[in-house]
Structure 1
Amino acid sequence: MAADLEEFSPQDQNRLIKAGMDNEGWDAFPDAPDSLRRFFDDASTTPGWVDPSAFIPGIRMFHRNSRTILVAFVAGVLIEGFTTNIAKSFFVTGRVRDQGTRRLTQNNRHMMDIFLPGRLDRQGDGWKLSVRIRAIHARVRLLSSASPEWDHEAWGLPVSSAHLGYAISSFSARLLKHMKTLGAVYTQEEYDGFMAVWRYSGWLMGIPESILFKDAREALRLYDIGLICEPSSELESIVMAHALINSAPIVAGISDSAERHHLAQYVYRLTRGLIGKTLADELEFPRGSSFGVVAKFRLDEWLDQTRRKLRPNYNQTSNLNKFSGLLETSLFDEEGISYRLPDNVYAEQSSKW
């Protein structure tokens, strides 16, 4: 599909992908490649194990803990993800190194959309953004494979299904673990619902069912196996981890350089507390104690939860503020979702997408 679309201009690629996303039918698009039609036919066939009603408890928990989730996502699982060879494709393309803020806000946008009621339905933005990621990965895989910088013998296939299976296990079960460390509270039903949302989104992103977790226990096992298979962090991992942390203050809308530095240092300490000293040192994070940082965050979460129990009106205001904050750190283009694809392996030379 990715190779077939290269025969079209960027504008026509966007037009054809949008037609598939909007489920307009192909009669008006006779030039659409068969591979693109099959791509959308496959994504539109919902697996029998998907139960949208099971998503609701997880969605409810997501919005109750949205601040904690964002912190655990950025300071925990994204950093841990870059300790693997996943970092190499990001490093070669420059997708975080040169465009870190845009990539981070796009990640937030996708996560926010899949955790809104009905957004994983066929016409929902969560469905479309998940399938969009699948298309982008296919294009990046094609471009990176053709790049002389990519060492196939040493690194294998860029943006491989194995790495994506590892990543979705991290975004789900591992994220829940970090959330718990930071003081999030959830029931077993909410836990299972959260996992169900990520499982379906992962399937839409193109992860084969053979390496797509069925439950949290299996996700954690896949995560552990992935760590065993991966080499120690190399230069690319170090660069990507630092780029991500230093993008966070910009995404948060902080313009003052001193305040940006202060927040970045806080994120370094919090991340050290989440991922542990050994991995933090491996990534060459600033030396320093993380003592009390996680405990202070947990205390703040406990106070917030207590206020919500004692003051129902505070609960509504608190959830609204958290949701507003999530919106502010998510990328919304005025023209809606873009279905443009990268047209150059190097982010700085690619058209906007």
Structure 2
Amino acid sequence: MEIPTAYIGGYQIARGRDPEVAEAYIRHTMIGDPLADALVEDLASFGPQEVHSMLATALESSDAARSDMPESLRAFVAEAEAVPDWFDAGIARVASRAFLRNSDIVLAALVGGSIVEGFSTLISKSFRIRGRVADSGVRRLKQNGMQLVEQYLPGGMEPGGDGWRLTLRVRLVHAQSRYLLNQSDEWDHERYGEPISAAHILLAGAAFSGRLMRHVATLGGDFSTEEREAYIHVWRYTGLLMGIPEAILFDDEASACRAFEIGSLCEPPADYDAIIMANSIVNSAPVIIGVTEPAERRKMARVVTQASRELIGDELADTFLFPSRKRKVIPAMRFRHRARRIVQKVLPRVKARGDLDRFTALMDFASFDAAAFSYRLPTALHDEESADW
């Protein structure tokens, strides 16, 4: 098996825990997304607006409108429209109700835990090379938030639904970024494997599903066992749409957490790229909730950073150079969330008002301009040189 040199040390450790999962992970560090990769190569000769129009027609129109499109695009859409037999819309509705009831907690776990942990891997290097750092931190959080919300709104993941389309857009942006990195001399293929590899998409899916459910529990969420598995069920389908090969796709919460654990062990130690990206995320979080005044933003960023430290653990937080405070913030958050549920059980009007406020905040977090549904793709390796997308 060909092993990228940066992974050799981690792979030996991971093999001691789970040789089968470790080997599968390493094999997929050398694999991108054949279907999406073929499509972006075919789209390379078109301008940004032509790409947008073509993809918009393909993802939002009937089969007849696609007859004169590249075969790679028709194959991409055909695969995306083929809903797997195991996906259950009834289970997805269970996940939707649980998500909406816990949306503020889920988003806190996403920002403070799962996204930060995801950037401890070599995927951070591809983002840093492309320049998706400080100025784009807010945009990235918005995009992640919007995609997550649309996944769990009823019908969002049905073919043609907003969650479905946003997921495919993310997949194509990954493929285009991989194409640009592979065309440059800034990516060391022998050392790092394929940029934004199938292994990294698996680890991201595991972080945003099974790992995120662990963070939600830490923060005081009230997902039942059935609801936790329903949440993973939706993310399993999302992972498939994002390009995770079915051979390595997780089945449930336990296998998602196992994939995250073993994949993280395979990864080399977090470097400066990971430090840059992780700090970009936690320092962008206050802006997302409307805190823009510099002093207040710094104060809120310190709270987010401490919460992240408590979720991801001191070892990784120290690697990210997150400051440490003696006063913990997670216990107070957990108490507040649990107290809220108790009050809402005995005061229905308070519950109704709380549900409305939470839904309004959810829409504010996930709100994005029309660019969210633009299908334009980056046109240059470095983001500052790219046409708008």
Report the TM range for the smaller structure's normalisation: over 0.9
Query: Could you tell me how far 1:152 is from its partner in structure 2?
Result: 1.0
Q: How much is the aligned-residue C-alpha RMSD, in angstroms?
A: 1.4
Query: Could you tell me how far 1:224 is from its partner in structure 2?
Result: 1.0
Residue 138 (1) aligns with residue 175 (2): yes
Q: In 2, Cα distance between the equivalents of 1:335 and 1:101? A: 14
Q: 1:98 to 1:151 in 2, by over 3 A?
A: farther
- Give CA-to-partner distance per residue, 1:191-232, whole Å, 9 cap, x none: 111011111111111111111101111111111111110111
Residue 344 (1) aligns with residue 380 (2): yes
Question: Is the Cα contact below 8 Å between 1:87 and 1:236 reproduced in 2?
Answer: yes
Question: Is the Cα contact below 8 Å between 2:155 and 2:161 reproduced in 1?
Answer: yes
User: Paired residue for 1:319?
Assistant: 355
User: Paired residue for 1:106?
Assistant: 143
Question: In structure 1, what residue type is equivalent to 2:158?
Answer: D
User: Paired residue for 1:260?
Assistant: 297
User: Paired residue for 1:19?
Assistant: 57
Q: In 2, Cα distance between the equivalents of 1:38 and 1:29? A: 12
User: Paired residue for 2:84?
Assistant: 47
Q: In 2, Cα distance between the equivalents of 1:178 and 1:328? A: 22
Residue 59 (1) aligns with residue 96 (2): yes
User: Paired residue for 1:303?
Assistant: 339
User: Percent identity over the alignment?
Assistant: 39
- Give CA-to-partner distance per residue, 1:229-251, whole Å, 9 cap, x none: 01111000001111111111112
Structure 1 consecutive aligned stretches of length 4 or more whose deviation exceeds 6 Å: none
Residue 160 (1) aligns with residue 160 (2): no
SS of the aligned residue for 1:329 comes to helix
- Which consecutive unaligned segments of at least 5 residues does structure 2 have? 1-38
Question: In structure 2, what residue type is equivalent to 1:22?
Answer: E
User: Paired residue for 1:284?
Assistant: 321
Question: In structure 2, what residue type is equivalent to 1:172?
Answer: S
Q: In 1, Cα distance between the equivalents of 2:250 and 2:372? A: 31
Residue 175 (1) aligns with residue 212 (2): yes
Q: In 2, Cα distance between the equivalents of 1:334 and 1:218? A: 36
Question: Is the Cα contact below 8 Å between 2:57 and 2:66 reproduced in 1?
Answer: no
Q: In 2, Cα distance between the equivalents of 1:344 and 1:309? A: 54
User: Paired residue for 1:5?
Assistant: 43
TM-score, length-normalised on structure 1? 0.96
Question: Is the Cα contact below 8 Å between 2:52 and 2:375 reproduced in 1?
Answer: yes
Q: In 1, Cα distance between the equivalents of 2:192 and 2:330? A: 35
Q: In 2, Cα distance between the equivalents of 1:346 and 1:153? A: 22
Query: Could you tell me how far 1:336 is from its partner in structure 2?
Result: 6.6
Q: In 2, Cα distance between the equivalents of 1:304 and 1:344? A: 48
Question: Is the Cα contact below 8 Å between 1:61 and 1:186 reproduced in 2?
Answer: yes
Q: In 1, Cα distance between the equivalents of 2:286 and 2:115? A: 15
From 89, 96, 110, the counterpart of 2:126:
89
Q: In 1, Cα distance between the equivalents of 2:166 and 2:297? A: 30
Matches within 5 A, 1:222-237: 222-237=259-274
TM-score, length-normalised on structure 2? 0.88
Q: In 2, Cα distance between the equivalents of 1:235 and 1:334? A: 33
How many equivalent residue pairs? Answer: 351
